[in-house]
Amino acid sequence: MTSRRGALIVLEGVDKAGKTTQCKKLVQTLLESGRPAEMMRFPERSTKIGQLISSYLENKSNLEDHTVHLLFSANRWELVPLMKEKLEQGITLVVDRYAFSGVAFTSAKPGFTLDWCMKPDVGLPKPDLVMFLKVNPAEAARRGHFGTERYENCAFQNIVLQRFEELMMDSAVNWQVIDASRNIEDVHEEIKNYSQKVASKAVTEPIGHLWT
């Protein structure tokens, strides 16, 4: 590993919280400040596993609940060599959803514990920072109606939010809750400040292992 690695920064949040908008703006700002940065997203729908997931999310196919959970996790693991390579090259990765979404969404289904859902993602590269974009459901609804993809309904999203809140109680992960109900620029300003601090600190630290 080079002595100056990139940081692993994750944005999580409820539906329509503005994750994608903010990931793109953050990458742009980091690049403008002279820091190599790239965006990644999960699910990464371009791989073979990602295509199975995409078809499931679009309600074009059905998959058993445990099976799809493991596929979401496998979709992250298949990208780990690339993620590590980039981080070690000094590239900061800004990631739109990660293992936390995986756990929050599956554990919102009946019969799944948080503990079981976390297991397949144990040992993934640990984010240096996870920002949770918090916006109340009424505000999110004003940003656009739910689409036709699986999970896009209010009742399910409320349970997902509760699961995220349980995950955020883990002090071993560097969580920051961001009030995402403000305008895009104000939200970006706060995200930028947290990210710049963490990116400077991460350069000399080894990449950690999630939930170990």
User: Which residues contact ligand Z5A by CB under 6 A?
Assistant: 13, 15-21, 42-43, 57, 72, 96-97, 101-102, 105, 143-144, 151-152, 180, 183-184, 187
The two tokens of residue 127 are: 């984010």
Residue 72: CB minimum distance to ligand Z5A, A:
3
Contacts of 120 (CB under 8 A, 6+ apart): 69, 70, 73, 74, 102
d(CA 153, CA 34): 41
Residue 96: CB minimum distance to ligand Z5A, A:
6
Between 38 and 152, CB nearer to ligand Z5A: 152
Between 72 and 164, CB nearer to ligand Z5A: 72
Residue 36: CB minimum distance to ligand Z5A, A:
23
Residue 41: CB minimum distance to ligand Z5A, A:
6
Count of other CB atoms within 10 angstroms of residue 92: 26
Between 43 and 127, CB nearer to ligand Z5A: 43
Between 5 and 14, CB nearer to ligand Z5A: 14
Count of other CB atoms within 10 angstroms of residue 209: 11
Residue 170: CB minimum distance to ligand Z5A, A:
17
Contacts of 147 (CB under 8 A, 6+ apart): none
Between 15 and 128, CB nearer to ligand Z5A: 15
Count of other CB atoms within 10 angstroms of residue 20: 14
Classify the C-alpha dihedral 94-96-98-103 as positive or negative: positive
